[in-house]
Amino acid sequence: HGALLTDLADLKRNIGRLEAVDLGGNPMAEARVQAQLRQLKATQEVETQWKLTAEAELEDDNLLLLMFEYYNIMAYWLLRITNPPPEGLPLSFDVPMTFKTLPDYLVDDLVEFILFAARNRGMFLRTYTARELENLVTFLVTFAGSPAYIPNPYIRGKMVEILAYLNPTSNRDPRIRSELMSLFEGHPFLIKHLVCRGV
């Protein structure tokens, strides 16, 4: 969804530039610009339809909950293939080949979805207990501090942003605040590594 918004903004900017071009009455140049404008506007129409479709899907709570379950399982799987030590961190500096060969978009998709859900749709916080959020939060803490595994600083920054959204003090709902406090204050891994990392 974020990529579509970026593409649409770029298309709008390019269409505006072409429409503002002064061609000085040159019929050949005008024909070429008009052809480019038609092509850009057709692309804009298709991408707008994709954007509206994505937005409609992102309003479906049942679909979002299924996606959240999928990404929660994926977070658990990604943690397992890194073969973390019993104490959790630090991960080995030798990144396992299984993890190294994964495409970057797997982690980026996971983080983008959770960030979207945390920013816009707090339903997963209302639906899941602290126990059910453990895998996700452990994943975030583990990889936010592991640049050898997630070399992209923007993805790691998004992980920290999600942790900020999950901060119990940032939530007004008493039940959600209670669940998050029990997670952050009762999970030994989080106590040890969030404090030592200063997140």
Residue 63: pLDDT band (50, 70, 90) is confident
Answer whether 115's CB lies under 8 Å from 56's CB: no
Q: Give exposure, 83-92, as e/b (b: 16+ Cβ within 10 Å).
A: ebeeebbebe
> Does residue 191 carry a pLDDT above 50?
yes
Which two structure tokens, joined as six digits, stand for 95?
A: 């990144």
* Residues of the chain above pLDDT 90, percent: 29
Read off the pLDDT of each residue in 34-58 and give the average, rounded to a whole number. 88
Answer whether 172's CB lies under 8 Å from 156's CB: no
pLDDT tens digit string along 127-169? 777 777 888 888 998 999 889 999 999 999 999 998 888 877 7
> Does residue 173 carry a pLDDT above 80?
no
Closest Cα partner for 171 from 138, 136, 141, 126? 126
Answer whether 125's CB lies under 8 Å from 162's CB: no
- pLDDT the model gives residue 123: 60
Judge if pTM exceeds 0.75.
no
> Does residue 121 carry a pLDDT above 70?
no
Read off the pLDDT of each residue in 104-115 and give the average, rounded to a whole number. 90
CA atoms within 13 A on the CB side of 32: 8
- Count how many residues are written for the chain: 199
> Does residue 195 carry a pLDDT above 60?
no
Answer whether 89's CB lies under 8 Å from 142's CB: yes
Closest Cα partner for 126 from 174, 163, 169, 167? 174
